[in-house]
Every structure is written in structure tokens, then in C-alpha cells.
Amino acid sequence: MTEKIFRVNMTDLTTSVEAVPAAWAGHGGRGLTSTIVAAEVEPTCHPLGPKNKLVFAPGLLSGTIAANSGRLSVGGKSPLTGTIKESNAGGTSAQFLARCGCKALIIEGQPKGDVWYSLAVTPQGVTISQEKELIGKGNFAVAETLANRLPGKLGLITIGSAGEMRMASANISVKDPDGGLRSHGRGGLGAVMGSKKVKFISIDPQDGKVEIADTEKFKEANRAFAKALVDHPVSKALGQYGTNVLVNIINESGGLPTKNFTLGQFDGHEKISGETMHDTINLRGGKVKHNCHPGCVIQCSQIYNDASGKKLTSGFEYESIWAMGADCCVDNLDQIAEADRLMDDIGIDTIETSVAMGVAMEAGVLPFGDGAGILRILQEDIAKGTPLGRIIGNGAGSVGRAFGVTRVPVVKNQAIPAYDPRSIKGMGITYATSTQGADHTMGYTIATNILGVGGSVNPLVKEGQVELSRNLQIATAAIDSTGMCLFIAFAALDDATCLPALIDLINARFGIALTGDDVVNLGKYILKTERAFNTAAGFTNVDDRLPEFFYTEPVPPHNVVFDFSGEEIDTFWNF
């Protein structure tokens, strides 16, 4: 099936299927969303106005049998950060969009009035329908209702009430193979979808298939690639404990932000750890291993049941557990799981919202450790859009401004996730320089700073951190273009057969001859394209800094501050 660009104009409610411009042909995933946003969105536009666009793009390998290749990118200008944004999620939609021949789905314009719509994508193109029944409904109700309304196993992309209310931390949910939800979490793109009055997008690939230029070579490369993934010990541990295995090791390192970033270790760490979660899941008949899309061979996801054995949540990730747990001092994993499920239903980023709760706790809105209070605010305030709910739903920065708090852990107004930049300095460089605001996935120096994967750089010294973060950010931008889950990076950093096999897969898919250098250049091109957008939007190097308190408040147990000068941080961009 020839790849096309599917375009939807919500101003005049028209759709079109267009040839792929030559300049976009070699791109997929993040490389494509960022290229399109940079080409078509005015950098100074209001993120919630008609000039912003929402762009979905499956990765270069999505829709094929390549292991772990089903990740979907969504891009636009972020209402949270004001920067360009790419957010990436699992679920089945990337594979289905690719099988529709949809290289990118661009949603532009904005309808007048208060009518809501849904989009249906098939290999023939996109149709727009009015939607009434599901407006105001949570994501789980949307998924359940549509499972009955629409025949067959369709892909589904949806927003909850937070997206409808255009909250700056609203996410976009994607259905997984078992009816669970995965999220394009960060940066508030759910609000952009809400601003275009699109409640959900269904995807029916019919009998569409992705064309492979050289099937034999492709299969061979996939065997080598999958083997490298399966053989790596990190993949095994991810299957067994999920990403939450990190709670104890980050706590031990002194880098687990606790009590709104005032401490580096959490007394209740053992109770919320991956080890405890693993035992609890087994005890209650949940599933320790689960994949967010068919073809994943690592399976870091899981199904977490409540004490009565009923499913409470899935895809229960370290960063969400850290945020609601250590950062808010809640040591009750069931309450955290309940909050996770509520946030998935409301359609709001678990990291941003929980860090915002931590700031609200510092402001005295509720006490630290008040898990029941968090659940109440999620249900009574955020889901219903009360003034307090909107303040918290607009993110950590919003809470800080509303209540006059100075200890607000954000960069470019996006909440800093689960690794303290004072005691794990490589992450500080990533948070400061990322084109998207604070985001651990942009350049995951934890691998090398803490986990001993891809070498070792002492997390407490300055030497080597800028270079480490730069190399990882370049590699990540390229991986985010392939449709691959980022967790392939552990194998890629350690196993010399992994990256060449990935490049062979791309070459066999398209009948081209990319080299390792081409892939590095792709990563550099993406970062520079994104940064140019931000510069045109008004950002300067002074925005590439951490909040003041990281430079002045030492964090125990190592009692260290973030001590990079502005000039040192700026050397990141020397490439």
C-alpha cells in the first residue's frame, strides 16, 4: 500500500488524501511529526487556536512484524510548554494507521460553535462524524461504548474530560490489545485535540498491509534484532518487575525526589517498589508481564488487580508510581494504582498531575501523604473542572503560580520526573536542554549514570554529563522515528548486533541503504529542527536552565546542588 498523508480540516470539516512530499518521505514517527510541525505551524501561534496542528505519525517500521515497532508519535505546539512537542505511546493505533497507508494524519483548523466530532480512518481516508453520546465521558467509557458501537477490533485514540476542558496536562489515550489504555502523556496534546473538538479517532485497517521491499532480508534482520532484545538481561528484568524496579535503585542512589523535591530518599520506598508490586500482582492473580502492542518481546507492562482480584490498572509505570508515591509521600500502592486508573480515565498526564499535587501539598492545599485526598481531588475537582481542578490540571507550574510557591520542579513549565538532577547530574542536562521541557525519555542518562548500561559515568560529578546527554538525545530522536519502543536502547547500548539489525530492518523495509552515520545525522537533524521551532517561538538559551532552588538547596543524602553554569549547559548544542 502506497503511503499517503491524510489531512483533516476541522474549520470547514473537509478531509483529503495527499501524496507524500519528497522532503517527508524518509521520515517517520518523531522525525516526521517534528518536520511537519516545523513546516506548517506558525511557531508563535496559540497552541489551542486554529493555527496549531495535531500530527500523528506511526514509526518507520510500525505495522510490520519487526519486534517492538508499534509506537505512535503525536506532535504539535504544546499548550504546557509553548515549545514543539512529540509524545510517544504504545497501543495498536500505530500499527493500524501504518496498515491504512497513513504515513501521517494531520488535524488542522478549528470548528466554530460547540459541536463535537469523531474521525474514522480507513485505507480510503478519513471521515468526520458528529459525536454526542460520548462527550463528557471518561476514556474507559469511550472505549467500552465504542467496542459495542463499532464492529471489529479497531484502533482507538481518545481524550477524556481533561482534554475536552483543554487542561494543559491533558493526555491522548491509545487503546492496547486488551482494551487497556496507553498514553501520549506529556505536554498537554490532549488539550490540542480537545481544541479541535475531536473526541476520538477510530482506525480500521481492513485488509491493508505494509509493503516490504525485501521480505527475506527483513525477516532475517528481525530475527537478529529480536534475539538481541530478548537476550539482554534488562529486557528480562523489565518483563519480570516492570519499570517500577527502579524505585529501590534510584532511592538507594539518593536520587529519588521525595516530598516535592526536598529529599532524595523515601522512607516508604519498599512498599511502592517493583519487588513489592511483583509479589502483590502474583498474589492477586494479575499479570506480571503484558505487552502494550502485539510484537513487543520485552513486555514491561502488567495488569495490577485490587485486593478482591479485580483489575485496577495496567501499564503501571515507575514514573507514575514515583510521582504519586515518593513525591507526594504516599506509601500505599493500592491508592497509587487507583489514582493511576482515575488519571487514565480523566485523560491527564500522571507525571505532571502528581508533581502538581506535590506542589499543592507544599502550598497546604492538602497534607503530604494524603492519598485519599489525592483521589478526592482527582474525582471531585479535576474530573469536574472546578477552579482548583483546573489549577492542578494545568500542571505543576500553574499550581506554583496560583499559590505563590517557589519550589516548583519544572523546566519550560513541564514537570521534572523521577530523577533528582542534583544527585544524578546527567539528567539535569537532559531536563535543561531537551527541546520539549523536562522529560527523562529525551536522553535517559540513568542508563549510564546509575544502571551501568552503555558504560559508566559517575552521577555526582560534572565531567562527561553534557556529552552523555547529547549522545543519548541524538540517538533517542532517531529511535523515536522508527516506531521502536525506547527500551530497545538498553540492548542497543550494550549489544553490538542490535543497532545494525535495526538499520537492516529499515533498509529492507524501504529498499534503501542507510548507514549508522545516516542514523546519527537523522537524530541531529531532528533536534536542530525542533530547536529552530522553539527559537522562532521566542525561546533562548536562558530557558535551558533548571529552577533556582536546584542551584541553592542541597538535597540529602549527598547534600549536593546542581552546579552547571549556563555556559557549560549551552555547550550541549555544539554539534
Partner 1 sequence: MQLTVKLFAFFRDGRFKEEGREYPAGTKVGEIVADLGIDPDEVGVVMINSLQSSLKATVAEGDNLAIFPVIGGG
Q: Which is nearer to ligand SF4, 90 or 358 (CB)?
A: 90
Distances (CA, A) of 351 to 196, 272, 464: 24, 16, 28
Print the binding letters for residues 303-342 with partner 1: x by CB under 8 A, - otherwise: ---------------x------------------------
Q: Which is nearer to partner 1, 225 or 525 (CB)?
A: 225
Distance from C-alpha of 357 to C-alpha of 472, rounded to nearest angstrom: 30
Record the cell numbers describing residue 406, joined without a space.
Answer: 517557589
* Selected binder of ligand SF4 within 34, 171, 299, 350 (CB under 6 A): 299
Cβ(47)–Cβ(76) below 8 Å = yes
Choose the binding region for ligand SF4 from 48-56, 290-298, 374-382, 427-435 (rule: CB under 6 A): 290-298
A 10 A CB-CB count for 308 gives: 7
Parallel, antiparallel, or unpaired: how do β-strands 414-415 and 410-411 relate?
antiparallel
The sign of the dihedral angle between the CA atoms of 260, 266, 272, 275 is positive
* CB of 24 vs ligand SF4, minimal distance in Å: 25
* Selected binder of ligand SF4 within 485, 499, 506, 555 (CB under 6 A): 485
Q: Which is nearer to ligand SF4, 378 or 491 (CB)?
A: 491
Distance from C-alpha of 315 to C-alpha of 312, rounded to nearest angstrom: 11
Q: Which is nearer to ligand SF4, 5 or 292 (CB)?
A: 292
Does 238 contact partner 1 by CB under 8 A? yes
Choose the binding region for partner 1 from 207-215, 285-293, 367-375, 442-450 (rule: CB under 8 A): 442-450
Q: Which is nearer to ligand SF4, 301 or 465 (CB)?
A: 301
* CB of 511 vs partner 1, minimal distance in Å: 33
* CB of 90 vs ligand SF4, minimal distance in Å: 4
Of 269, 222, 217, 221, nearest in space to 246 by CA: 269
Report 451-510 residues binding partner 1 (CB under 8 A).
Answer: 451-453, 456, 458-460, 486-487, 490
Q: Which is nearer to ligand SF4, 103 or 232 (CB)?
A: 232
Cβ(187)–Cβ(81) below 8 Å = yes
Does 225 contact ligand SF4 by CB under 6 A? no
Distance from C-alpha of 124 to C-alpha of 121, rounded to nearest angstrom: 8
Cβ(505)–Cβ(492) below 8 Å = no
The sign of the dihedral angle between the CA atoms of 184, 187, 188, 190 is negative
* Selected binder of partner 1 within 254, 315, 421, 437 (CB under 8 A): 254
H-assigned helices in 134-186: 139-149, 161-164
**CA-based max dimension of the chain:** 62
Size of the chain, expressed as the number of residues it contains: 575
Does 90 contact ligand SF4 by CB under 6 A? yes
* Selected binder of ligand SF4 within 487, 550, 562, 564 (CB under 6 A): 487
Choose the binding region for partner 1 from 30-38, 47-55, 235-243, 528-536 (rule: CB under 8 A): 235-243
Could you give phi then psi for residue 451, rounded to 5 degrees? -90, -5
Choose the binding region for ligand SF4 from 17-25, 285-293, 319-327, 401-409 (rule: CB under 6 A): 285-293
Distance from C-alpha of 120 to C-alpha of 130, rounded to nearest angstrom: 11
* Selected binder of ligand SF4 within 292, 339, 424, 493 (CB under 6 A): 292
Does 242 contact partner 1 by CB under 8 A? yes
Does 476 contact ligand SF4 by CB under 6 A? no
Does 72 contact ligand SF4 by CB under 6 A? no
* CB of 121 vs partner 1, minimal distance in Å: 30
Under DSSP, the state recorded for 20 is P
Q: Which is nearer to ligand SF4, 9 or 301 (CB)?
A: 301
3-state SS assignment for residue 452: coil
Does 303 contact ligand SF4 by CB under 6 A? no
Helix (H) or strand (E) holding 288: strand 287-290
Q: Which is nearer to partner 1, 146 or 446 (CB)?
A: 446
31-63: b (≥16 Cβ within 10 Å) or e:
bbbbbbbbeebebeeebbebebbbbbbbbbbbb
SS (H, E, C) 263-279: ECCCCCHHHHCHHHHHH
Helix axes 516-536, 465-482, angle to 10 degrees: 100
Does 554 contact partner 1 by CB under 8 A? no
Does 301 contact ligand SF4 by CB under 6 A? yes
Does 297 contact partner 1 by CB under 8 A? no
Exposure of 273 in the CB half-sphere (CA atoms within 13 A): 18
Q: Which is nearer to ligand SF4, 261 or 487 (CB)?
A: 487
Parallel, antiparallel, or unpaired: how do β-strands 4-9 and 102-108 relate?
parallel
State the residues that interact with ligand SF4 by CB under 6 A: 68, 90, 291-293, 296, 298-301, 485, 487
- Which residues contact partner 1 by CB under 8 A? 233-234, 237-238, 240-246, 248-249, 252-254, 270, 274-275, 300, 318, 440-441, 444, 446-447, 450-453, 456, 458-460, 486-487, 490, 557-558
